[in-house]
Amino acid sequence: MAECDNTLENCGYKSGVLPRCAPLATTYVPVQGDPEPRYEPEKALARGTLFPGLDLPLGNIVNQDTADVPMAELMAIDFAAHDLSLYLDTHPDDSEAFAVYKDLLALAEEGMQRYVKRYGPICKTDLVNARSYCWLRGPWPWEMTATREA
């Protein structure tokens, strides 16, 4: 990680800005700087964030780009809905964002129902109308791979 000497010119996009005399042992979240660069949509979905500066994988283990699987569309819709819900947590009066959020939830529900009919359950509650216990039968709804980042 880049060293930061409290001047923005010397900080990389993975570094936030702290107050010059930040007290010890006090929780502080650095202000996120310029939102550039940004990941392309497919990579953002796989990495779980649009911003490389917020991409801090545990143990340097990262997902590869999203595989072209039937589950990828549902993952994208769920990612967008979850991200929008985080925005709405801090902007609850944004009626336009809430309308888009409701549309995404409806789209996610419709897509999940289609997926379950065609491929099988995504979660165990999808077995409510199943004729037999088919949880462990394939195909599995995910086909992501992981590698370690240098």
Per-residue pLDDT tens digits for 91-107: 899 999 999 999 999 99
Question: Residue 72 pLDDT more than 70?
Answer: yes
Q: Which domain holds residue 132?
A: 35-148
State whether residue 53 is helix, strand or coil: helix
> Residues 14, 73: one domain?
no
> Residues 113, 55: one domain?
yes
Q: How far apart are CA 80 and CA 132, in angstroms?
A: 33
Q: How many distinct structural domains can be found in the chain?
A: 2
* Helix locations, 21-67, DSSP H: 41-47
Q: Which helix (H) or strand (E) holds 48?
A: none
> Residues 144, 105: one domain?
yes
Single-letter amino acid, residue 35? P
> Residues 20, 51: one domain?
no
Handedness of CA 58, 90, 34, 37 (dihedral sign): positive
> Residues 117, 99: one domain?
yes
Q: Is the pTM of this model over 0.75?
A: no
State whether residue 17 is helix, strand or coil: strand
What is residue 102's predicted lDDT score, i.e. its pLDDT? 95
